[in-house]
Chain A
Amino acid sequence: MPRQIDSIRFNETPEGIDLELRVAGPVPRALALFLDGLVRAGLYLVLIPLSALADTGVGLMLIGFFLLEWFYPVVFEVRAGATPGKRAMGLVVVHDDGTPVGLPASMIRNLLRVVDFLPVFYGVGLVSVLLDHDFRRLGDLAAGTLVLHAERRAPPRTIADTPPVQVPPGFALETQQAILSYAERGPRLSAARRVELAEVLTADGGIRGEAAVRRVEGWASWLARGRGLEAS
């Protein structure tokens, strides 16, 4: 079987576990860029009144422009992991091993922004993001960085306290996990849909309706708690 398409990359940490890196694609990144553009434009607008203060103000304004142009992303990425626009879109910049981005990598990826910007509005960067496996623009490629989706809003999970029912033999590990997942996500599904899903598994045994839901939840309970003996 060819490798399945996924939006997640796995990176093995020194502890020997696979860390999930949920790389972010062009659309959220473009929107983050746009938001950053707004923030930056706002900062420019704040700086412009300085020019009223004669030449001293002009000097300060020009220095401010320089810092904004080149160091706005670097400062935010190194200090907080993401620029305000990226933060608003729930993105974060990391090294390609998942560790927070450092100053050298951030400098590389943001100085090379100039090339990604060519010929207009990130044309080169867009092509690179569309082509690359991990949605990296040229600056990311050179710096070895990734842009990830940062937060996972974990919904509350509980496995209902249904009397355990022994799982029939022949369910693969993935199926067992799907059963557990069914029990965890069940409360967020409609009642009809819950019945329908459960019946997929139980209809062969002639169990239908609410009984099917109870049966599958019983299996989940058995998988999670055993017969109740072990938990004591």
Chain B
Amino acid sequence: MDLDRIAVRTRPRGAWEGLDLGFAMARTWFLPLWRLWWWTALPTAVICLFLTGFRADLWLLALWWLKPLNEGPLLLWASRALFGESLGWRRFPETWRAGWPRRLWPYLLWRRIGMRRSFLMPLTLLEGLSGQAARERRRVMNDGGGVPFWLTLVGYHFEVILWMSLLLAVFFLVPAELPRLDLVSAVTGEGSWASWVGVLAYLLVFSVIAPFYVCAGFALYLTRRTDLEAWDLELAFREARDRRSEPAGLEPKGRFLGLLAAIAILPLVVPPDVQARPHPSLDPDQARALIQDVLAGPDFGSTMETAYWAPIERGDEPAEDSPVLPAGLPSFLRLSARVLKWLLLVGAVGVVVWLSLRMSRDWRPWRGRRARPDRRPPSPARALETSAHGIELAEVPTAVRACLQAEDRRGALALLYRASLTHLETLGPPVPDGATEGECLAAAVRNLPRSALGPLEPLTRAWQRLAYAHQEPSLELLEALLLAWCRWTQDAGASAP
């Protein structure tokens, strides 16, 4: 066995989630399952066709009754696919043989109308129990609530819905020039060709829903076993044991051979006998009483047959005869209608007026155009203007000192940096609009002699560290930068004509 290849995530799940897992499984494996269904159903269908004397309705009834026959192989296939093994064409005979054991007979007879078929079938087919043991096991497994029942019920409805949809689609999509499908005779079945279309459509729908139904029942079964018996833990433990006892190196090939050998045996999901039989130390009568007790408990109340099938009153039609209203009520109603009417009218006018006022307030194209914010990228030349201080270059040292006094290092450095950009602009090198700090520095280095750069480089680095890394410069560094900056601007001022 090869637990590594298990195709499904095993974990404890709620019953509804288990159901959904089954639908996911069926979607993944849909094509092989669907094909298998047809390969199984076609021979039966042909035989039944002769047996029922070519009567469409009887034929459909027979095929419907024989559904478990098609579901056995599907279930077997799914149980193998669970462990990553795909039974191909060639192994179909084998699948059929294993999928139709004699134990399946009850499902074609009295258990056919049971509403938990797909959930109980794994018990019969895969665990291979019979007689008393099977009965006990069914009872234990069955206590999980009404989900299998709902699965079957909803499954039937899915079939009907898909069937009706299919017929209607055929009805509407066939061009009017071709013979129109007579929906009434397709549904009621009066031996016309239309009724055969209806029956064949139903057969198609059977084939589509069957994989989902079987897989959902199977997944429910697995979920229930996970819940009752910690089946997932057993798998995990077995895998761990095998991995430990397995000599390294024999990995893939050895496992594959083991897998081949395991095919002849019952599928893996068969539990050891122990878990299926009552515990030996327990008296069966006592156990039965206990089970009855548990069954009677409120947790296992699976009697969900409520009044859901009452016809739904859509009630679109107003009452036929208007009852006589008490005196005064009509005039009151008329008054209230008038009040409502005027409220609505005034409300509508009010909303319109209010909205238009609101919009005319916001919408001022002649002013809006001018007030539009300047979207040009900031120019380094205007760095000092936009610094919100609006100070002259000569006042910068005082302002920086004031910032330093106030312990505002960030303000000081920002001011200094902007001022140096402004100064840089007077020195001449063109700095493109929207340039980054690094680009400004690079442009300066390119166009100016090294001596004329002044403190620009350490200043830029300090600013970048502060702006992007939030590393505040030390006070000494700021002082030094300020001094260097003063020298730089004075030099430039002296050399300038």
Say yes or no for A135: interface residue by CB 8 A criterion.
yes
Contacts of A152 in B (CB 8 A): 14
Q: Which residues of chain B (339-374) have a CB below 8 Å from chain A?
A: 340
Docked CA distance A152–B169 (Å) = 40
**Interchain CB contact under 8 A, B9 and A8:** yes
Given A5-B21, A119-B169, A196-B274 contact (CB < 8 Å):
yes
Docked CA distance A58–B119 (Å) = 50
Say yes or no for A6: interface residue by CB 8 A criterion.
yes
- A42-84 CB mask vs B (1 if < 8 Å, else 0) is 0011001101111111110100010000000000000000000
Q: Which of B84, B168, B318 contacts A61 (CB 8 A)?
A: B318
Contacts of B238 in A (CB 8 A): 200
- B8-51 CB mask vs A (1 if < 8 Å, else 0) is 11001110111111011101100000000000000000000000
Q: Which residues of chain B (218-270) have a CB below 8 Å from chain A?
A: 228-230, 232-234, 236-241, 243-245
Docked CA distance A174–B233 (Å) = 10
Q: Is the interface of A mostly helix, strand, loop or mixed?
A: helix
Min CB–CB distance A195 → chain B (angstroms): 9
In this complex, the member of A25, A191, A204 whose beta carbon has the largest number of chain B beta carbons within 10 angstroms is A25
**Interchain CB contact under 8 A, A5 and B330:** no
Interface size class of A (residues with CB under 8 A): 35 or more
Nearest B-chain residue to A53, judged by Cβ: B333
Contacts of A65 in B (CB 8 A): 316
Docked CA distance A193–B271 (Å) = 11
- 9 other A-B residue contacts (CB within 8 Å) besides A48-B319, A52-B322, A201-B241: A2-B7, A7-B18, A7-B21, A51-B318, A54-B330, A171-B240, A196-B274, A197-B234, A200-B237
Given A175-B237, A204-B241, A7-B158 contact (CB < 8 Å):
no
Q: Which residues of chain B (50-84) have a CB below 8 Å from chain A?
A: 84
Q: Please report the total number of B residues contacting A with Cβ < 8 Å.
A: 73
Say yes or no for A130: interface residue by CB 8 A criterion.
yes
Q: Is the interface of B mostly helix, strand, loop or mixed?
A: helix
**Interchain CB contact under 8 A, B236 and A204:** no
Given A175-B240, A193-B275, A197-B233, A90-B9 contact (CB < 8 Å):
no
Docked CA distance A119–B167 (Å) = 10
**Interchain CB contact under 8 A, A28 and B318:** no
Min CB–CB distance A29 → chain B (angstroms): 9
Contacts of B84 in A (CB 8 A): 1
Nearest B-chain residue to A34, judged by Cβ: B308
Shortest Cβ-Cβ A-B pairs, 9 listed: A123-B165, A25-B20, A178-B236, A51-B318, A175-B240, A119-B168, A6-B9, A56-B337, A200-B237
**Interchain CB contact under 8 A, B314 and A41:** yes
**Interchain CB contact under 8 A, A1 and B314:** no
Min CB–CB distance A31 → chain B (angstroms): 6
The interface of chain B, by Cβ under 8 A from chain A, is 4-9, 12-14, 16-21, 23-25, 27-28, 84, 150-151, 154-155, 157-158, 161-162, 164-165, 168-169, 172, 212, 216, 228-230, 232-234, 236-241, 243-245, 272, 274-275, 279, 308, 312-316, 318-319, 322-323, 325, 329-330, 333-334, 336-337, 340
Nearest B-chain residue to A2, judged by Cβ: B7
Say yes or no for A17: interface residue by CB 8 A criterion.
no
Contacts of A59 in B (CB 8 A): 337
**Interchain CB contact under 8 A, B233 and A26:** no
Q: Which of A5, A28, A44, A126 contacts B28 (CB 8 A)?
A: A5
**Interchain CB contact under 8 A, A182 and B8:** no
Min CB–CB distance A225 → chain B (angstroms): 20
**Interchain CB contact under 8 A, A193 and B229:** yes
Say yes or no for A24: interface residue by CB 8 A criterion.
yes
Q: Which of B4, B14, B164, B229 contacts A149 (CB 8 A)?
A: B14
Docked CA distance A21–B16 (Å) = 14
Q: Which of B7, B19, B216 contacts A4 (CB 8 A)?
A: B7
Given A6-B9, A178-B240, A204-B245, A193-B230 contact (CB < 8 Å):
yes
**Interchain CB contact under 8 A, B237 and A197:** yes
Min CB–CB distance A185 → chain B (angstroms): 6
Min CB–CB distance A141 → chain B (angstroms): 16
Docked CA distance A189–B230 (Å) = 8
Nearest A-chain residue to B14, judged by Cβ: A149
Contacts of A130 in B (CB 8 A): 23, 27, 212
Say yes or no for A172: interface residue by CB 8 A criterion.
yes
**Interchain CB contact under 8 A, A54 and B154:** no
Docked CA distance A57–B279 (Å) = 68
Q: Which of B16, B21, B216, B322 contacts A90 (CB 8 A)?
A: B16
Given A171-B240, A175-B240, A197-B230, A53-B325 contact (CB < 8 Å):
yes
**Interchain CB contact under 8 A, A52 and B323:** yes
Nearest B-chain residue to A168, judged by Cβ: B244
**Interchain CB contact under 8 A, A5 and B9:** yes
Given A51-B319, A189-B229, A1-B17 contact (CB < 8 Å):
no
**Interchain CB contact under 8 A, B275 and A196:** yes
Say yes or no for A156: interface residue by CB 8 A criterion.
no
**Interchain CB contact under 8 A, B313 and A45:** yes
Contacts of A118 in B (CB 8 A): 165
Docked CA distance A51–B319 (Å) = 7
Contacts of A51 in B (CB 8 A): 318-319
Contacts of A231 in B (CB 8 A): none
**Interchain CB contact under 8 A, A126 and B162:** yes
Contacts of A31 in B (CB 8 A): 150, 154
Say yes or no for A89: interface residue by CB 8 A criterion.
yes
Q: Which of A24, A38, A44, A174 contacts B20 (CB 8 A)?
A: A24
Nearest B-chain residue to A181, judged by Cβ: B233
Nearest B-chain residue to A52, judged by Cβ: B323
Q: Which residues of chain A (119-146) have a CB below 8 Å from chain B?
A: 119-124, 126-127, 130-131, 133, 135
Q: Which of A6, A181, A185, A197 contacts B8 (CB 8 A)?
A: A6
Nearest A-chain residue to B21, judged by Cβ: A7
Given A27-B154, A200-B241, A149-B16 contact (CB < 8 Å):
yes
Min CB–CB distance A186 → chain B (angstroms): 8
Nearest B-chain residue to A123, judged by Cβ: B165
**Interchain CB contact under 8 A, B161 and A7:** no
Min CB–CB distance A107 → chain B (angstroms): 21
**Interchain CB contact under 8 A, A44 and B333:** no
Docked CA distance A121–B13 (Å) = 30
Min CB–CB distance A18 → chain B (angstroms): 13
**Interchain CB contact under 8 A, A28 and B20:** yes
Say yes or no for A23: interface residue by CB 8 A criterion.
yes
16 interchain pairs (CB within 8 A)?
Answer: A4-B6, A25-B20, A49-B319, A51-B319, A56-B333, A119-B164, A120-B168, A126-B165, A130-B23, A171-B240, A175-B240, A182-B233, A193-B230, A197-B233, A197-B237, A200-B241
